[in-house]
Amino acid sequence: LSARGKAAIVGTAESDLGEVGPGFTPLDLIGQATERALDDAGLEKKDVDGLFSASAYYSMATVSAGEYLGIRPRYSDATNMGGSSFVSHLLHAAAALEAGLCEVALVTYASTQRSGGGFRGLSEPPNPYETPYGPRYPVSMYALAASRHMHEFGTTRAQLAEVAVAAREWANLNPKAFLRDDLTVEDVLASRMVSSPLSILDCCLVTDGGGALLVTSAERAKDLRKPPVYLLGAGEAHWHRNISQMPDLTVTAAADSGRWAYEMAGVGPEDVDVAMLYDAFTINPILFLEDLGFCEKGEGGTFVEGGRIAPKGELAVNTNGGGLSYNHPGMYGLLLLIEAVRQLRGECGERQVEGATVALAHGNGGVFSSQVTAVLGSANVL
């Protein structure tokens, strides 16, 4: 069974981003994004019969979103595995479309964590094997992984900083980016330490924001407003939830999710024009570049040196500015899909990657816990 090319993303939109101000709820932003995505696609709300969402606010995410939007779905999927959930929803939507369980799927998410007072963490009970030691969730867990990568492969803080600098340079080309000013490796190294070796500028933003994505069959997609962006392949994997259970802190389950996505898509890393790699922290893209085959294990730090993933570099990574400089509303996976779609439609203005036909969107959830990879393509690579 293969879903290759059978489903297409036909509408995308962000809600208002950054800091939306007091009183707005995540559902208000979901409403904004949904209206804009429907307009982008040329679809009506009544066309939507599949609903996909995850939330740190609403324990029944699709039920709450369905009520607010006035959508009564016949297929509903509130899978929550952290920030990667929405890439997973895209795969699940393709399967549901293929099985005839729905015809038009809406994937949506939003958070108002910045206006609402900061990172909205977990509602899980304390873990007797981790909580007593006081790691700061989630940054300390990523810091542990970074410490191991540095020990095994000689990765440096300056190399981590290169990831943040590249993200900022892309953000400077994106009018919607939250942070748009100059940033140097020295700035990152000199910034306040949070959980060593990660300083505050190694960490993603805490912003409001959300988005919506409309997915339908390739056949139906042909008659809509924008050029369809096809799902070529996807894979999802998770091996652990808690960092103390991660088998090897230098290898993520992206090694599986990526392999499965490439196999389904019939492409490899050498075919990818734009790589959207979930950058919750600067160590993340380094591990994902390795696990997704853009370089060998251990070479991620060297790979990002010298502006290689920055504008005009060899590989276009996180062209919206990423979670580090564009926006990171708690869970970011939907926003990286939106950027991948826009690159393949050629809608990215100053930051457009010329002639992009294949984009990879990789979502991460938890503490390197869940990994979901999607490969998207324009019509001429079908």
Partner 1 sequence: LEELKEEMSPAEAPALVYRRHLENGKLGYQRCADCSAAVFYPRVLCPVCGSGALEWRESAGRGTVYATTAVHSRNHDPRNVVLVDLDEGFRMMSRVEGVPAEEVEVGTRVRFEVRQGEEDEPVAVFVREGS
Enzyme catalytic residues: 278, 326
Which one of 47, 103, 130, 271 is in contact with partner 1 (CB under 8 A)? 130
Among 115, 147, 156, 352, binds partner 1 (CB under 8 A): 147
Of 127-135, 206-214, 276-284, 301-309, the segment contacting partner 1 by CB under 8 A is: 127-135
Binding flag, residue 193, partner 1 (CB under 8 A): yes
Looking at residues 247 to 266 of the shown chain, list those that interact with partner 1 (rule: CB under 8 A).
Answer: 249
Stretch that binds partner 1, among 54-62, 126-134, 291-299, 349-357 (CB under 8 A): 126-134
What span, in angstroms and rounded, lies between the C-alpha atoms of 335 and 378? 19
Strand ranges, E, within 206-284: 209-217, 229-238, 274-277
Is the distance from CB of 130 to CB of 140 less than 8 angstroms?
no
Among 10, 93, 97, 143, binds partner 1 (CB under 8 A): 143
Is 197 near partner 1 (CB under 8 A)? yes
User: Do 107 and 341 meet the contact criterion of CB atoms below 8 Å apart?
Assistant: no
User: Could you count the other beta carbons within 10 Å of the beta carbon of residue 158?
Assistant: 14
Q: Does 190 bind partner 1 (CB under 8 A)?
A: no
Quick check: 188 binds partner 1 (CB under 8 A)? no
Is 34 an interacting residue with respect to partner 1 (CB under 8 A)?
A: no
Does 220 bind partner 1 (CB under 8 A)? Our answer is no
Burial 330-347 (b: 16+ CB within 10 A, else e): bbbbbbbbbbbbbbbbee
3-state secondary structure of 35: helix
User: Could you say which residues in the range 198-217 bind partner 1, by CB under 8 A?
Assistant: 198
User: Applying CB under 8 A, which of residues 22, 134, 181, 182 lies at the interface with partner 1?
Assistant: 134
- Going through 207-249 in order, the beta strands assigned E by DSSP cover 209-217, 229-238
Q: Among residues 135 and 346, whose Cβ is nearest to partner 1? A: 135
Instruction: Report the nearest approach of partner 1 to the CB of residue 139 (Å).
Output: 8
Kindly calculate the radius of gyration of the chain based on its CA atoms and give it in whole angstroms.
19
CA 363, distance to chain mean position in Å, is 4
Which residue among 111, 172, 174, 195 contacts partner 1 (CB under 8 A)? 195
Cis peptide preceding 197, ω within 30 of 0? yes
Is the separation of the CB atoms in 314 and 295 below 8 Å? no
Among positions 149-178, residues that touch partner 1 (CB under 8 A) are 151
Q: Which residues bind partner 1 (CB under 8 A)?
A: 128-130, 132-136, 140, 143-145, 147-148, 151, 192-198, 243-245, 249
